[in-house]
Amino acid sequence: VLNKQETPVVISEATRKKVLEAARTLGYVPSAAARALRKGACRTIGILGNAPEIFLDSLRTVGLDTEMMRALMMEALHAQVHVLLLTGVVEDDHSYNNQLAEIGMVDGLVVYNRDLSAGGWFLDAIQNSGRPLVYLMEYPQEPAVCYFAPDDVQGGRLAAEMLLAAGHKRIGFLTENIYPGIFGRRRAGWAEALRQAGIMPADAWVLTQQTQLDARIVQSERLTALVCANQWLAFNFRAKTAKASGLAVPDDISLVAVTCESPNSRHSADLARAYSPLTDIVAAGTKALIELVSGKELAEQRHLFPFIEQPGVSVKALVES
């Protein structure tokens, strides 16, 4: 009765009800541990974000954000798969064992937006254990890994091109010292587009979120526009830096954000953006992981999602003087 979906055994409706009723009154719940032990799989995937130090580091640096969580949960729910939150810190031997045990609780893992520059013994241990691993957003350089990520270089290029098309020439890049991979690639795209337009992207044009300094650079370098490495930076520039220094967006400075966040989430619905929906990336990656866990092979290992142009009020067209 309890495993009815798999066995074609015919059971009278009356006894079926009786069994179910008994199970309920006894508070019977199947032992997931026993089932998993026997089956050799637990229909659970792990999600590994950034280490908790980074969680705490900055209140807005959320390792796992809600938009991605929702997409992940939707896929997991659809595939009847459970989701375990992993941490992946190591402090001592005891924690080491605890971490290993964590790997033993999942059939496969999704690594989301994780800073990969730090030592990756945990990721190595996962690889060694033979469990499938799918990277989302941030990914390592090794050729063998499977990832789903936005095409950051193209995104940076697109954002710069949107501003070039509006007549801007002196276009800066606003970034921050996190997500070195993602932001680095977006910066490369920005630089590429500028060079292609015959403009030399000076290092001095790269702003790094230091309110006073940034405003001074905008003025001294006579920047008329900025490509922002993500949506939050654009929002924050408009709300803080621009306001504090008397700059108006877009009258004095135009902004285009390179982003995977949906326009509805958080702030910035009205910003001009190069947009590659996070939801699509997460959904595709999660689906792929679930297939890998079920023993299927993927046709492609590496998946890059393009950014598309979304106009907004933060860009002002410049008329050539």
Partner DNA sequence: CTGAAAGCGCTTACAG
Residues at the contact surface with a copy of itself, assessed by CB under 8 A: 2-5, 24-37, 42, 44, 52, 55-56, 59-60, 62-66, 69-70, 73-74, 76-77, 80, 82-87, 89, 93-95, 97-98, 100-105, 125, 127-130, 262, 264-267
Q: Residue 70 or 170: which CB sits closer to a copy of itself?
A: 70
Least separation in angstroms between residue 10's CB and DNA is: 7
Residues 311 and 17: their CA atoms lie apart, in Å, by: 59
9 interacts with, out of a copy of itself, DNA, none, CB within 5 to 8 A per kind: DNA
Residues 300 and 247: their CA atoms lie apart, in Å, by: 46
Least separation in angstroms between residue 139's CB and DNA is: 30
Side chain identity at residue 42, one-letter code: C
220 interacts with, out of DNA, a copy of itself, none, CB within 5 to 8 A per kind: none
CB 20 within 8 A of CB 1: yes
Least separation in angstroms between residue 179's CB and a copy of itself is: 17
Least separation in angstroms between residue 206's CB and a copy of itself is: 26
Residues 253 and 223: their CA atoms lie apart, in Å, by: 7
Q: Residue 3 or 321: which CB sits closer to DNA?
A: 3
Mode of pairing for the β-strands spanning 82-86 and 272-275: unpaired
77 interacts with, out of DNA, a copy of itself, none, CB within 5 to 8 A per kind: a copy of itself
56 interacts with, out of a copy of itself, DNA, none, CB within 5 to 8 A per kind: a copy of itself
Q: What one-character-per-residue DSSP string does 198-266 give?
A: T----GGGEE-S-HHHHHHHHHHTT--EEEESSHHHHHHIIIIIIHHTT--TTTT-EEEEEE-S-TTSS
Q: Residue 8 or 198: which CB sits closer to a copy of itself?
A: 8
The 3-state DSSP composition of the chain as helix, strand, coil percent (nearest 5) reads 40, 15, 40
- The footprint of DNA on residues 5-64 (CB under 7 A) is 6, 9-10, 28, 30-31, 34-35, 37-40
Least separation in angstroms between residue 32's CB and DNA is: 8
CB 150 within 8 A of CB 305: yes
Mode of pairing for the β-strands spanning 44-48 and 82-86: parallel
Taking the C-alpha atoms of 273, 139, 131 and 66 in order, what is their torsion angle to the nearest 10 degrees?
-30
Q: 220 Cβ partners below 8 Å, 6+ apart?
A: none
Q: Residue 130 or 198: which CB sits closer to DNA?
A: 130
Q: What is the size of the binding site for DNA (CB under 7 A)? A: 14
Least separation in angstroms between residue 63's CB and a copy of itself is: 8
Q: CB atoms < 10 A from the CB of 261, how many?
A: 22
125 interacts with, out of a copy of itself, DNA, none, CB within 5 to 8 A per kind: a copy of itself
266 interacts with, out of a copy of itself, DNA, none, CB within 5 to 8 A per kind: a copy of itself
The tokens 């595709």 sit on which residue?
284
301 interacts with, out of DNA, a copy of itself, none, CB within 5 to 8 A per kind: none
Give the residue among 67, 72, 71, 94 at the shortest CA–CA distance from 85.
72
Give the interface with DNA as residue ranges (CB under 7 A). 2-3, 6, 9-10, 28, 30-31, 34-35, 37-40
